[in-house]
Amino acid sequence: MLSGWPPPVLDPAGPFAGPVTTVAWVLFIMGAVVLTLVLVALGVALFGPRRWKRRVAGEKLVWIGGLAFPVVVLTGLLIYGLSVTARVADTPRPGEMRVRVTGEMWWWRVAYLDGQGREIVQDANEVHIPAGRPVVLELESADVIHSVWIPRLGGKTDMIPGRRNFMRLQADEPGVYAGQCAEYCGGPHALMGLVVVAHSPADFAAWRVKQAAPAAVSGLPGAAVFTASGCGACHTIRGTEANGLAGPDLTHVGSRQTLGAGILPNNQGTMAGWIADSQGIKPGNRMPSYSVLNGQELRDVAAYLESLK
């Protein structure tokens, strides 16, 4: 099988993407048919026998081909499009699970909300959802405009400073769905990935309980290095004194799929590489490279962070 095929947009994994894929195929077929018609008409006009040419030579062709036909086709498409729009873009309903995703340069702050809209769990760069039911994302921005796009789950919605947008998301099956920032946000915009992880409902409940818990007290030497290096100024690890807010919450960073906002696999090796040289891997991002750590310290911090499952 070819890598990248089928294209995610044509490989929907939920009810907010499926109808759009149908729309896409209808549009592709429409495009192919109309293009064929135009090319046939053009071919006749250019090379056809005189008798055929005469049939397309009049103003009648302009009225029919240029006016009547498009009006009919477009009206049909419009009605179809509006009905799908209304279906897919249904406004959020009370009682639906809510997750607040805030775009930051160049990562995503994620907060799970309770029924009253209070934050219960903080996380970053990953949105965990239960499969088979809709989840509402509240989209905000902390700096410039970003846009959330998870092609297999649906279209994109912008995150605009000073505004709050909503996006409904549903994955029918458990799995991992890749996404990326779609609105140019400067610097390493190209490396601002997002991962949606859909769990079975039972797994999701378990995940949520685990996620809500603070980090276990750790006797690993890396915990001390983490504190001594001042990492806590930007990062929070709940249950420790690290309570910085500028960067991603690291309470359960070891359990994440990726590092650096969707760009690296997550293990001790990549963690060490990221800490030591985040500027080399993702130039321009807001985390400085920690080249002051010696090999052992670096390894210890990486081991400690990976232990935060």
Partner 1 sequence: MTSETGFDVDKYDRFPTTEPRPEGELEQLEQAWCGPRSPWEWITATNNNIIGVYYVGAAMLFFVLAGVLALLMRTQLALPMTGFLPQDTYNQIFTMHGTVMMFLFAVPAVEALGVLLLPQMLGARDLPFPRLGAYAFWAYLIGGLAFFCSLFFGLAPDGGWFMYPPLTSMTYSPGINADFWLLGIGFIEISAIAGAIEIIVGVLKTRAPSMTLDKLPVFAWAMLIFASMIIIAFPSIILATLLLELERALGWPFFDPLKGGDPMLWQHLFWFFGHPEVYIIFLPAAGAMSTIIPAMARTPLVGHPLVVMAMLATGFISFGVWAHHMFTTGMPQISINYFSAASMAVSVPAGVQVFAWIATIAAGRMRFSTPGLFAVGGMVIFVMGGLTGVMVAMVPFDWQAHDSYFIVAHLHYVLIGGMVFPLFAAIYYWLPMSSARPLSERWGKWIFWLMFAGHNLAFMPMHLTGLMGMPRRVYTYLPGRGWDLPNFISTIGAFMFGLAVLLWVIDMIRNFRPFGPREAGNIHDGPGLEWLPSGFYSVRSIPVVKSLYPLWDQKWLAGDVAAGRYFLPGAARGERQTLVTSPLNAEPQYVLRIPRPSGWHLFGAVFTAGFFLILTIQAYAAAVISGVLAIYCIMRWCWFLDAPHARKTTEIGAGIRVPNYVSGPSSHGWWAMVIVLIVGGMVCLLAGFSYVFLWSRRPDLWEAPPPISSLLVSVGLLAVAGVCALAAPRAVRMARDGAVSAATGLLVLASAGVIAASIVEGRAWWTTGLRPEVSSQGASVYALLSWAGTFAAIGGLMGLYVLLRRLFGRLASERPSTVDLISLFLAFTAAQSIGVMLLVRLFPGSGI
Partner 2 sequence: MKLERGGCDHVPTMRTIGALLLSAGLCVALMACADKANAPRPLAQTDAAEGLRLIGHHGCAACHAIPGVRWPQGRTGGDLAGMAARPLIAGRLPNQPAVMAAFVRDAPALLPDTGMPPMPLTDAEARDVAAYLYTLDDD
From the list partner 2, partner 1, none, which binds 188 (C-beta under 5 to 8 Å, kind-based)? Answer: partner 1
From the list partner 1, partner 2, none, which binds 160 (C-beta under 5 to 8 Å, kind-based)? Answer: partner 1
From the list partner 2, partner 1, none, which binds 269 (C-beta under 5 to 8 Å, kind-based)? Answer: partner 2
Measure the CA–CA gap between 53 and 247, rounded to whole angstroms: 68
Provide, rounded to whole angstroms, the least separation between the CB of residue 266 and partner 2: 8
CA neighbours closer than 13 Å in the CB half-sphere of residue 27: 11
Q: Beta strand pairing status for 126-130 and 193-199?
A: parallel
What is the residue type of 92?
P
264 touching partner 2, by CB under 8 A? yes
Provide, rounded to whole angstroms, the least separation between the CB of residue 262 and partner 2: 13
For partner 2, the closer CB: 178 or 212 = 178
260 touching partner 1, by CB under 8 A? no
280 touching partner 1, by CB under 8 A? no
Stretch that binds partner 2, among 33-41, 60-68, 243-251, 270-278 (CB under 8 A): 270-278
Q: Looking only at residues 202 through 241 of this chain, which bind partner 1 when binding is defined by CB under 8 A?
A: none
From the list partner 1, partner 2, none, which binds 9 (C-beta under 5 to 8 Å, kind-based)? Answer: partner 1
Q: Looking only at residues 221 through 260 of this chain, which bind partner 2 when binding is defined by CB under 8 A?
A: 259
294 touching partner 2, by CB under 8 A? yes
Measure the CA–CA gap between 229 and 289, rounded to whole angstroms: 12
Edge-to-edge strand ranges of the sheet holding 97-104: 119-124, 107-113, 97-104, 135-141, 165-169
Provide, rounded to whole angstroms, the least separation between the CB of residue 106 and partner 2: 15
Query: How many C-beta atoms surround the C-beta of residue 210 within 10 A?
Result: 12
Q: Looking only at residues 77 through 116 of this chain, which bind partner 1 when binding is defined by CB under 8 A?
A: 77-78, 80-82, 84-86, 88-89, 105
Query: How many C-beta atoms surround the C-beta of residue 281 within 10 A?
Result: 19
From the list partner 2, partner 1, none, which binds 44 (C-beta under 5 to 8 Å, kind-based)? Answer: partner 1
Q: Looking only at residues 166 through 185 of this chain, which bind partner 1 when binding is defined by CB under 8 A?
A: 166, 178, 180-185
Provide, rounded to whole angstroms, the least separation between the CB of residue 246 and partner 1: 15
Name which position in 250, 276, 287, 308 contacts partner 2 (CB under 8 A): 276
Report whether 170 contacts 153 (CB < 8 A): yes
